[in-house]
Structure 1
Amino acid sequence: MSKVDVSKIADVDTGSTSTVCRCSWGEHDEFSRAYHDERWCKPVHDDDELFAVLVLEGMQAGLSWSLILKREAGIRAACDGLQPAKVALYDENKVQELLNNPAMIRSVRKIHAMIKNAHAFLQVQEEFGSFDNYIWGFVKGVQVDHRLVSEEHMPAKDALSEAVSKDLKKRGFTFVGPVIVYSYIQGIGLINDHIVHCSFR
């Protein structure tokens, strides 16, 4: 059996109820539920948001995704909305400011990686016209739907994430191993890993 949360949602106008199925991890907490229902595996084409999700995925390394979601608003506020053009201008004074900010994931390696990745991101934009053109080029602009029947069938990485990871590293990005990249390409919708019975596919 696939892991799936089934809940009843009441319609306040009619008094009827409908069954909603959700990938089980989406029931971890309110932040996970909102992310699962509204954002996960939904195609993203805005360059600033593509960078923001990349930063958040890098911040998550070694930590839980639910923690990152809880901290997300604070991280975005502390880092100028995670706009790559602004993050690329950060100096060591800004790094120290961020390390002293309780809203941040206070890892000097991750903060330096965010700044380094901002520079690499801007270079990709210059070469390809947009990061969107670059990243979606790996799937020729068409989302890959794995049509998983169970969360147990979801890999930690695959050939696509290996290829993206290798190319990002070649371009100077860091904290972009194939496992992090797999989560990233889920988050920006290059792949759809909602199980087939999930109401939020």
Structure 2
Amino acid sequence: MSGSLAVCVFCASSSRIDRRFVDLAAEAGAELARRGHSLVSGGAQVSCMGAVARAARAGGARTVGVIPEGLVDLEISDEENDELIVTPDMRARKGEMDRRSDAFLVLPGGIGTLEELFEIWTARTLGMHDKPIVLLDPVGVYEPLRELMKGLAEHGFTRPGAFDAISWASTVPEAFDLLERSQVRLEATPEDYAEAEL
């Protein structure tokens, strides 16, 4: 994959996390801008969401924020975005972020980040899109998730091909390299659904 991408970054909005994760988000935003991409994010100015958007803008990238109206005050919407979209709810937020994005970068986060990850991961496994998905995990936050998914595959609950739908990276440059070159298209068949759940 080459050229400019609209990269959707899923990340935390919690103010209680370790500062290194906020710094990681800022590093990702700076690298995104350096490579000439644009950002789609959760539209908040706090924590990792704010850090990735500020760093991207500082590097000259266009940023689009998408935030549900119920979280405008809680997450403090980032009015500095080039475009700020307020949706009626979380489901509409995810749909809008998906629609506007060419690729997905997932940083360490909580249950909201996991919800976003699993929805976009499931859709790619089903062949509903072929946009690259990369988990950036330099300190092993998602290692238990990786082990859980391997166990689900061993028990037949998840198709082994689900692992082909996602890439793992430990550094910011590696993550963007993977986003830019990932062109794998997954093809799901009726037999897949009969043999195993997602």
Scaled by the length of structure 2, the TM-score of the pair is 0.23
Counting strand residues as a fraction of each chain, which structure ranks higher? 2
Greater RCO (Cα-Cα under 8 Å, separation 6 or more): 1
Scaled by the length of structure 1, the TM-score of the pair is 0.23
